[in-house]
Amino acid sequence: MQERKEFFVLGFDIGGTKIAVCLADCRGRIIDSARSEGGTQIDYSKALRQMTDTGDHLLNKAGLSSEDLQSVGISAPGPMDMRAGVLRKSPNMVWRDVPIRDDLAKHYRVPAILDNDANAGMLAEWFFGKARGCTDAIYLTMSTGIGGGVIVNGTLLQGTAGIGAEPGHMVLDLDGPVCGCGQRGCFEAFCGGRSISRRMQEILADQPDHPIMRMEQVKGDYRKLNYQILRLAVAEGIPAAREMWDEVCLRTAQALGALMMIFNPQMIIMGTLAYYSGDMLMNPVEKYLPRFAWPQLREACSLTTPKLGSQIGELAAVAPAFYHFYRQGAWQPPKEG
């Protein structure tokens, strides 16, 4: 297929309480963006109207129409049936089995491409961010939970059922904490933001005199215990916080080592929690890594954080559409700069 010289894509980044809508050109330049409030917490038919109204507004504001679009991209949390283009029910949304891909394709009369948010984040960093030029890279969404997107030999790994690459649910310890997915001892159960908050609250709820509970930011309210409080407690030198943080670092190294041993990537991009933790997380993780990966694999792999920053959600929204054209040979990522 002949490469397209100039075109526009519209992207929808589906979230729990908001949906980000982004209009971009074929160079990945964001023309405009806006948010549709409510996300997956409101009725799907209402949310769909808000999404299309927001997308239509962005097109009109830019002097464009749906006829100027070549595709629509959709970045969404799981579970989903990627082949059918349907979002399934999850505990974090009121939507159930919604045909979002086909509904958006029908409205805009162009192909709509659906992918999970971790894959979309990987594609965004691969096309426009840190992983540009890599043939083998991994992106970890390290936030409330832990998801992953994997590029292998220049191709996005999607798996037989379209749900390949779920590193957050690698079981690291059969006797570990229960994960939200139902398994025990997952990477996410040890290191995901929600899991850390829950474990801190369970441990400290009945200990009002504990040093962490007496912190100024907590003031005895166990409901305020979260990942950020843990980092602050570590910085203050509270022994229990340091012990818990050490386990987070060890388990992160264990998971990264497993990914290095399996995929031998050039780069692993670690998302939000690593970005804000910086050396506090990365230094001990690198100290523990030799336990879990061979030297040549560690030397070949750069551990880093995302380049795209606040734009990652917007570019992740349009990235599945760009990947659709990339696989057809109709588009190439822009050269850096």
CATH number, position 62: 3.30.420.40
Q: Do 222 and 301 sit in the same domain of this protein?
A: yes
In a domain, 281, yes or no: yes
Residue 32, in any domain of the structure:
yes
Examine the domain organization and report whether 166 and 258 are in the same domain.
yes
**Shared domain check, 221 and 143:** yes
Q: How far apart are CA 192 and CA 187, in angstroms?
A: 8
Residues 226 and 240 in one domain: yes
Q: Give the structural domain span for 52.
A: 8-116+310-328
| Spatial separation of the C-alpha atoms in residues 333 and 94, rounded to whole Å | 36
Identity at 297, one-letter amino acid code: L
pLDDT truncated to tens, each residue of the chain (337 aa)?
A: 455 568 899 999 998 888 999 999 999 999 999 998 888 999 999 999 999 999 999 999 999 998 999 999 999 987 889 889 999 987 678 999 999 999 999 999 999 999 999 999 999 999 999 999 999 999 999 988 999 999 999 999 988 777 788 999 999 999 999 998 899 999 999 999 999 999 999 999 999 999 999 999 999 999 999 999 999 999 999 999 999 999 999 999 999 999 999 999 999 999 989 999 999 999 999 999 999 999 999 999 999 999 998 788 899 999 999 999 999 999 999 887 5
Asked if the bond preceding 79 is cis, omega within 30° of 0, the reply is yes
Examine the domain organization and report whether 85 and 144 are in the same domain.
no
Q: Which residues pair with 37 in a beta bridge?
A: 18
Q: Does residue 138 sit in the same domain as residue 284?
A: yes
For the whole model, what pTM was predicted?
Answer: 0.93
Domain contains 336: no
Residues 61 and 142 occupy one common structural domain: no
DSSP 8-state class, residue 43:
-
Domain match, 285 and 189 both: yes
Cβ contact 158:207 at 8 Å: no
What is the pLDDT, as a whole number, of residue 5?
A: 66
Six-digit token string for 208: 């009002």
**123 in any annotated domain:** no
Q: Would you say residue 192 lies in a domain? A: yes
Are 262 and 213 contained in the same domain?
yes
User: Which of the 8 DSSP states describes residue 134?
Assistant: -
Q: Structurally, how many domains does the chain consist of?
A: 2
Residue 335 lies in a domain: no
